[in-house]
Amino acid sequence: MDSFDQTLLDDPTRLAAIDTSQVLASIVALPEQCLDAAAQIQNLNFPDPYRSVKRVLIAGMGGSNLGGRIIEAVFADELTLPMVRLHDYHLPAWADAQTLIICSSYSGTTEETLSVAAEAIQRQLLWTAIGTGADLIALAQAQAVPYYQIQPTHNPSDQPRLALGYSLIGQLLILAKLGLINLPASAIDHLVAAMKLVVSQNQLSVPLNSNPAKQLAVSLYGRLPVLISSGHLIGTTHSLKNQFNENAKTFAACFDLPELNHHLMEGLVHPSTNPQNLAFISFLSSLYSERISRRFSLTQEVITQNHLPVYPYAVPGDTELTQAFTGLQFGSFVIFYLGMLYQQDPAPIPWVDYFKAKLA
């Protein structure tokens, strides 16, 4: 493993020289994003036909559709109609007049999402839009459909993947306004307070020797992170996997219990370099069922018996929604610090930009 200088994580001047686009500032501001989004979307209203939908489809790519996974995981026991995520150009054949299509594109220029919006218009379906502006919001305005235009005051990096407070709260409140989920204002205040506590414990000013996020980043250096979660945290770990890719420029994988117990444990043996290359992170929750908690204990035992490191993280919070957000807050810090150890500016995505330029 390459050597690295972990003292970098306690040096604001050196970190600022690497983080040229204020990614850390966006991470710290995630709680404020949530409050800001709730205030911005307050006056958004929907015509009556939107309240009679029988299914929901959230269309978006990358960071703009991470919220859908979190909603799906957290509200699985509350949503009484199907909710599907779409990461593609075309609507499925089953999308009909009783389907609500939420088109989410932070930039407003994502070609796959614009294609879905165009098909929704062509098929005369109910749709709404979330984004900062550009083509998607212009299309919604031209078609006189409801939309939430994000004003990203608390996302100084201007990266979609770091605006989850806006997109996720926006999507949640759209569903709440339509009566599909219960989300009182007090729930948002509650999760924001819990997130701010995570910020206070893991922000840059907290030194490495007492900063859990910095310590985990040091442990992950030079290894491929494998995230494990269950139930209401599955969407959170998937979102963090994307952030590992884009912000730390490293490969990552995520698996969920109980599914992984039926295959992954047999995949730990080869290649023989696995113990040097992999690191597992278990997202534990006091809200898991007794059976799932037992599975986590046994899964961690199997991992360690295969000589692989596993780092458990007890996600704070007393509700499933709160834990989804605090897990996201903590993981975002870990990934940022890991990127700093690699001395990697987290904001630029040169290979994604290269691909888009070639595809154009």
Mean per-residue pLDDT pooled into runs of 10, the chain (360 residues):
86 96 97 96 92 93 83 92 91 93 90 92 94 90 93 92 91 92 92 98 98 99 98 97 96 98 96 97 98 98 98 98 98 98 94 89
Phi/psi of residue 190, nearest 5 degrees: -65, -50
d(CA 323, CA 195): 9
d(CA 116, CA 139): 12
d(CA 230, CA 289): 10
Q: Which residues contact 3 (CB under 8 A, 6 or more apart)?
A: none
Which has the closest alpha carbon to 49: 239, 178, 181? 178
- The whole-number pLDDT of residue 104 equals 92
How crowded is the C-beta side of 358, counted as CA atoms within 13 Å?
A: 6
Which residue ranges make up each domain of the chain?
6-20+205-341, 25-183
CATH homologous superfamily for the domain 25-183: Glucose-6-phosphate isomerase like protein; domain 1 (3.40.50.10490)
Angle at 255 between CA 344 and CA 333, to 5 degrees: 35
- The whole-number pLDDT of residue 1 equals 55
pTM to 2 decimals?
0.95
d(CA 241, CA 328): 11
Helical spans, DSSP H, in the chain = 12-18, 23-28, 30-40, 66-74, 111-122, 134-143, 164-177, 185-202, 212-220, 234-247, 274-277, 290-305, 320-341, 350-359
- The whole-number pLDDT of residue 276 equals 96
- Topology match between the domains 6-20+205-341 and 25-183: yes
Answer whether CATH 3.30.465.10 is correct for domain 6-20+205-341: no
Tokens of 134: 């550009």
